[in-house]
Structure 1
Amino acid sequence: MVQILVQSLIPLSVFLMMKICTPQAEVVVPKNATISAIFMFGDSIVDTGNNNHLVTLVKSNFPPYGRDFMGGKPTGRFSNGKVPADLFAEKLGIKELLPAFLDPNLQLQDLIGGVNFASAGAGFDPLTSELVLAIPMSKQLQLFDEYKTKLKSFVGEERADYIVTNGLYIVSAGSDDIVNTYFHTPTRIFEYSVSSYTEFLVRSASSFLQELHAKGARRISVCSLTPLGCIPSQRTLAGGIKRRCAEGYNKMVQLFNSELSSELRRLNGACPHARMALLDVYGLVFDMVKNPRKYGFEISDRGCCGSGLIETGFLCNRWNFLTCLNVSGYVFWDSYHPAENVYKIMVQKKLGKLLIDLYS
């Protein structure tokens, strides 16, 4: 499908009407809008396997991760199945999966529809990536430069420039900054208040977005943070005996989301010919946690993997006999990451508005 979209330049609005219009919802975007490719930057929410090729403990290329993926294969996605990077590409008809740029099996043809530079454990705070040896956001931008060089050698400079200029760029980071670096390491919490660290993260995010824009990005979406105080691991660590949502975490997330949204509005005025938009999923995920049955789930206070209280990464493994048999009733796959069905709901409900925000 990507060859049709890139070469024939079908207007995105027409293309989306063919792909995702339903009797309940309709996506309306400008007639001349076109998406040539998808480029993903960020952390474990969207990493599709880059960390497989790093020396780091933050990996998921082993069972039961990928249990509901194609063929039940663990690929380095922190999910039982696909992650948002894949689902965006799939919904737009560009690719079925968004490949990791560091995958040694990546073919030159795979470059055309876009790739994924995200690394599990990365954050806007450089210390976050350093602590777990993830790919820093600055290095992800360098990998993007490498991608452009390879693309130009394959399709020529004119077509490569077209693909880069008309790509959809999605950034998902910040969760590990707050949960891991701020609240669970002594370095930042004694150096910054909640408000000053939030300001630091937003400034770092802004610098990243401005660099991305300077490298050719024109349509950029930044994912809001979800209610991190309600993820199972933080209920266990900071929610008290009853494992309630840790309100301090959620308040910090809300502050970050609000200040990030304001910064995106400022950048829209400062960056010519660019449009940046917040993909706001906080309220949706919070509602799924508080009212799981409304969305077809049963359990929202623990994950499927292991006990669901604390296991993530190497603690979520094939030898953990407590892992649930059917994840369909769970909001969370492990104690940190939502299940694939949650991601599907998020993309289904938020994609249309995002495209309007970016292209209208």
Structure 2
Amino acid sequence: MELWSFMIVCLSVCFTAEAIITLPGNETIPALILFGDSIIDTGSNNNIMTAIKSNFPPYGRDFQGGIPTGRFSNGKVPSDFLVVPLSEQLEQFKEYIGKLKENFGEAKTNFILSKSLVLVVSSSNDIANTYFASGARKLQYDVPTYTDMLVQTASSFVKELYGLGLRRIGVFGAPPLGCLPFVRTLFGGIERMCSEEINMASKLFNSKLSTQLHNLNQSLPQAKVVYINIYDPLLDIMQNPTKYGFEVADRACCGTGTVEVSFLCNPLDLLLTCTDDSNYVFWDSYHPTQKTYQILVAQIINTYINDFS
């Protein structure tokens, strides 16, 4: 599972996303810890032996300095927006980092972990790519059995995080994967419609995941395990793009907008790549644009922040 392979990397580098986060009641969280796939990767993928990378143009063209950082986006990704708007006490946290370096020990580590906010993004690649696009898992599982396995994997991962001392854990459900540009191209026929079969798989997974996380929240003492619904907000953007200031929702900005992602979205595609990505919901055929991420993160914060207090 991609979730597990990333966990090993994240455990060694996750504190690069540290920030002070303020919850209702002025309670501060000392660190934002992220586990997941390319949706939230801020560049750690550059240091991993993997064929799927994005540290080359036109990726990053709207990031500071126009430099490709390894983010699968034209600019920022959700982790950037989660850290920045919630980090009003950033200067205080910089001082706190200095004190941590001087006094770091087991007790302080336990405090950081117990008060941190952990966000887990998983299963999107497992459903869209591993199961449907490659078909590798279809020979072993039907959709109900496969989603059961993914939910069990996510549940076990949450329990491991809890066992490490983490208490505030948010887990993202799957987005409407059947409406991703590359999925429309592969499975949507000549009119590139959304794949209802794949969307149904996403919804089935989300229903099971939500129930399982609710059960964990009840059974793990002092835990705040929260299911984060990303399916409905993103689907609304896709179905009503003009409401959010977009013009194109079924194709991406990069290249033809139908299949390009990672190495297929490259400098050779510049002539085909859109000039104004703020009109597009998707940057490449799998990942949203910075503008889309910003809208989604604002909605997530407004909807779920109280659940972690």
Distance 1:248 1:76 in 2: 31
Distance 1:343 1:261 in 2: 22
Partner residue of 1:167 out of 105, 109, 116:
116
Alignment of 1:156-305 (within 5 A): 156-305=105-254
Deviation (angstroms), 1:319: 1.2
Distance 2:149 2:101 in 1: 36
1:240-273 deviation per Cα after TM superposition (whole angstroms, max 9, x unaligned)? 1100001101000001111100001000111111
Distance 2:89 2:230 in 1: 23
Amino acid at match of 2:276: N
Distance 2:102 2:285 in 1: 43
RMSD: 2.3
Distance 1:110 1:264 in 2: 35
Task: Evaluate the alpha carbon distance shift between residue 255 and residue 354 of structure 1 in structure 2; reply closer, same or farther with a 3 A threshold.
Answer: same
Alignment partner of 1:221: what SS? Answer: strand
Alignment partner of 1:34: what SS? Answer: strand
Partner residue of 1:337 out of 278, 287, 290:
287
Number of the residue aligned with 1:87: 81
Deviation (angstroms), 1:32: 5.8
Distance 1:184 1:303 in 2: 18
Amino acid at match of 2:242: R
Aligned length: 287
Contact 1:37/1:112 (<8 A) preserved:
no
Contact 2:22/2:87 (<8 A) preserved:
no
Distance 1:204 1:243 in 2: 32
Number of the residue aligned with 2:262: 313
Task: Evaluate the alpha carbon distance shift between residue 172 and residue 339 of structure 1 in structure 2; reply closer, same or farther with a 3 A threshold.
Answer: same
Deviation (angstroms), 1:208: 0.5
Amino acid at match of 1:278: Y
Contact 1:112/1:163 (<8 A) preserved:
no
Alignment of 1:129-168 (within 5 A): 155-168=104-117
Contact 1:152/1:160 (<8 A) preserved:
no
Deviation (angstroms), 1:33: 3.1
Partner residue of 1:354 out of 279, 294, 304:
304
Amino acid at match of 2:185: T
Alignment partner of 1:183: what SS? Answer: helix
Amino acid at match of 2:239: K
- State the percentage of identical aligned residues: 48
Partner residue of 1:64 out of 42, 58, 71:
58
Number of the residue aligned with 1:12: 22
Task: Evaluate the alpha carbon distance shift between residue 327 and residue 156 of structure 1 in structure 2; reply closer, same or farther with a 3 A threshold.
Answer: same
Deviation (angstroms), 1:188: 1.1
Distance 2:89 2:41 in 1: 16
Task: Evaluate the alpha carbon distance shift between residue 329 and residue 163 of structure 1 in structure 2; reply closer, same or farther with a 3 A threshold.
Answer: same
1:96-121 deviation per Cα after TM superposition (whole angstroms, max 9, x unaligned)? 8xxxxxxxxxxxx79959xxxxxxxx
1:208-239 deviation per Cα after TM superposition (whole angstroms, max 9, x unaligned)? 01001101110000112110110100000000
Distance 2:80 2:88 in 1: 10
Task: Evaluate the alpha carbon distance shift between residue 187 and residue 110 of structure 1 in structure 2; reply closer, same or farther with a 3 A threshold.
Answer: farther
Deviation (angstroms), 1:153: 8.1
Q: Which consecutive unaligned segments of at least 5 residues does structure 2 have?
A: 1-18
